[in-house]
Amino acid sequence: MSALNSNNWDRRTVLRAAMGLAATGGLAACGGNTGRSEGGASGKSLTQYFHAYGEAGTQEAIKRYAKDFDGANVATQWITGTNFESKLFSALLTKNAPDVFEFHPQLQLIRSGQVADLSDLVNPVKDDFNPADIKSHTIDGKIWGVRMIDDPQFFYYRKSMLEKAGVEVPQTLDELVEAAAKLTTDKVKGLFIGNDMVQTQYPLVWSSGADQLTADNQIAYHTDAVAETLSKYRTMFKAGHLLTGAPADSWDPSALIQGLCAIQWSGMWAMPALQKALGDDLGIFPYPVAADGAKPSVFNGGWSMFVNAKGKNVDLAKEYVKWLWIDQKEHQEDWALSYGFHVPPRTSIAESADKLKSGLPAEGVKFFNEYGRFENPSWTQAMITAFEELIADVVRKGVEPEKALDTADAKVNRELKKLFG
C-alpha cells in the first residue's frame, strides 16, 4: 500500500476534492462576476452603459475619457444590437445595474425612481445649454439628465439621381410620394425610411400638424391628417417605392452610399461618411409639409447621461457625470464632432465648432434651429412602441388607419393612466 493510501489520499479522494473545489469555484465565479472591473488607484469603481454607436472610434473615445477620470475606475459596457433599451431596463432592476447610463429623458424613469436628480450639477451651467434640451430634461422642476449630443434627423438625397429623374427637392409629402415613384427603378428604390418604417414616426406627426401628446398629456396624434399621412406611406410601400430589407437600417448611411435608394432618412451623425463617399452629390431637406398649415419638421434626437438613483455610488456617479459632461469641454467637443457630426448641446461649444459653420453641416444646423423639435419626456417607451406598432399595422399590414389609431389609443391611454392617473 502506498503512502498515499495509508493517509486516505487515494485517487478517488483527490478527484473528489478537486471536483468539489471546481464546483465551488464555479459557483463563486457565478456569484462574483459583477461585470465590474477592479477599482483603480482610488479603489472605487463605476459602470457606464452605452449603446453601440455606428461611427468608428466612438467606443475607444468613451473608454479614453473614462480612463482620464481620477475618482474611480470606470468600466464601459458597449451594448451592441438593437435592444439597448431592453438590456438597460432589465439591468436597472438588478444589483449589477450601471451607475451611469445614456438614454433619453422619459417620465417613467423618474416616476419609478430609477434616475437621480442632477439639478445641482446642471443649474450652475444651465444657461450654456440649448434651452430646448434643458426643457426636455426638466420634470417637476428638476433636471434629471445631462445632454451629451443633439442629433438632428432629416432626409439625405443624391443630387444626381434627382436631376436625372427630373425631380425637385420635395416641399410637401405629396411631392415626396411623387419623387419616390419617379426615382424608383429596377435597381434603385426611391425612398428609405428604415427597414421597419418607424424611423420617421415623430416628424410624420409634426408635419401633419399634430403632436404626440397635448400639454395636459392627452393623445394628440389621433387626427385625420395623421391618418392621411399614414395612408400615403402605405401607398408608397405597396407600390414598391420604399426600400425594405436593406442590410443596415436607416441610421447607417450605407443604403444611400451603395445606391440602393435615392433619398434616405438619417441623422446628422452620418454626414461625414456620406460626404466622404458621395462628395458634392449630396443634399438634405427636412421632413416636408404633410398637411395644410403645418410646417416642415426635423427630429432633434440625441443622447443624455443619467445616474442610477438606486446605484451603490450615486455621489461618485454624479461626480463622474459632472466631470465628463459638464467640466470636460474638450471631451464633449471631441465626442460631438470628431466621429460623426452631432450638434453640441453646450452653446459655447456649438458656437465655436468650425466644422458646423459651413457647407452641408451648416445647413443641417440651420434645419436644427429652424424646424427642429425635441422629444417629449411624457411620451414614454411604451407609447413609442404602440406608435411603432401602429405604423407596422397601417403601412405594412394594410390595416385601416382609423382602426389602427384606435388600437394605439388603447395602449397609450393605458400608459397615460398609469403615469398620470
Partner 1 sequence: MSTTTTRDATRPAPAKVSKTKPRRGVRGTTFNFWLFTGPFLIGLLIFVYIPILWSAWLSFYEARYTVTPDKFVGFDNYEYMLTNGDFVRSLGTFSVFAAIVVPVTWALSLGLALMVHRLRFMKAFFRSVFFLPTAVSFVAASLIWKMSIFSGVRFGLMNTVLDWVGIENVAWLADPNPPWYWLVILTLRLWLQSGFYMILFLAALQNIPPSLYEAAAIDGAKPGWQTFWYITLPQLRATSTAVILLLLVAAYQAFDEFFNLLPKTTWGRPPLVELYYTALGDSQDYGAGSAGAMILTVLICTVTLLQGRFMGLGRGDENK
- Contact residues for partner 1 (CB under 8 A)? 1, 5, 8, 16, 19-20, 23, 26-27, 82-83, 85-86, 89-90, 93, 108, 111-112, 114, 187, 195-196, 198, 237, 240, 243-247, 260, 381-382, 384-385, 388-389, 392-393, 396-398, 407, 410-411, 418
**Nearest one of 381, 344, 376 to 361, comparing CA atoms:** 344
Using left for φ > 0, alpha for ψ between -120 and 50, and beta otherwise, residue 320 falls in alpha
CB of residue 105 to partner 1, shortest distance in Å: 15
- The residue among 20 and 131 lying less far from partner 1, judged by its C-beta, is 20
- The residue among 90 and 123 lying less far from partner 1, judged by its C-beta, is 90
CB of residue 246 to partner 1, shortest distance in Å: 6
Q: For residue 288, what are the contacts with CB-CB under 8 A and spacing of at least 6?
A: 170, 171, 172, 173, 175, 176, 207, 296
CB of residue 158 to partner 1, shortest distance in Å: 17
CB of residue 132 to partner 1, shortest distance in Å: 24
Length of the chain measured in residues: 421
CB of residue 50 to partner 1, shortest distance in Å: 19
> Could you tell me if 247 and 254 are in contact, meaning their C-beta atoms sit under 8 angstroms apart?
yes
CB of residue 253 to partner 1, shortest distance in Å: 15
Question: What nine digits make up the cell of 145?
Answer: 439628465
The runs of H, that is alpha helices, within 240-301 are: 254-257, 271-278
- The residue among 198 and 316 lying less far from partner 1, judged by its C-beta, is 198
Question: What nine digits make up the cell of 33?
Answer: 462576476
Phi/psi for 81 (5° steps) reads 90, 180
CB of residue 368 to partner 1, shortest distance in Å: 26
CB of residue 393 to partner 1, shortest distance in Å: 5
Q: For residue 405, what are the contacts with CB-CB under 8 A and spacing of at least 6?
A: 221, 222, 226, 227, 390
**Nearest one of 199, 302, 203 to 252, comparing CA atoms:** 199
- The residue among 108 and 119 lying less far from partner 1, judged by its C-beta, is 108
Q: At what angle do helices 359-371 and 271-278 cross, to 10 degrees?
A: 140
- The residue among 134 and 188 lying less far from partner 1, judged by its C-beta, is 188
Q: Note the Cα 68 to chain centre separation in Å.
A: 25
- The residue among 69 and 299 lying less far from partner 1, judged by its C-beta, is 299
> Could you tell me if 122 and 307 are in contact, meaning their C-beta atoms sit under 8 angstroms apart?
no
- The residue among 8 and 33 lying less far from partner 1, judged by its C-beta, is 8
> Could you tell me if 298 and 153 are in contact, meaning their C-beta atoms sit under 8 angstroms apart?
yes
- The residue among 295 and 310 lying less far from partner 1, judged by its C-beta, is 310
CB of residue 12 to partner 1, shortest distance in Å: 9
CB of residue 388 to partner 1, shortest distance in Å: 5
- Burial grade of 382 (CB within 10 A; 0-12, 13-18, 19 or more): middle
- The residue among 45 and 380 lying less far from partner 1, judged by its C-beta, is 380
- The residue among 215 and 410 lying less far from partner 1, judged by its C-beta, is 410
Burial 169-207 (b: 16+ CB within 10 A, else e): bbebbeebbbbbbbbbeeebbbbbbbbebbbbbbbbbbb
Question: How many alpha carbons lie under 13 Å from residue 39 in its C-beta half-sphere?
Answer: 9
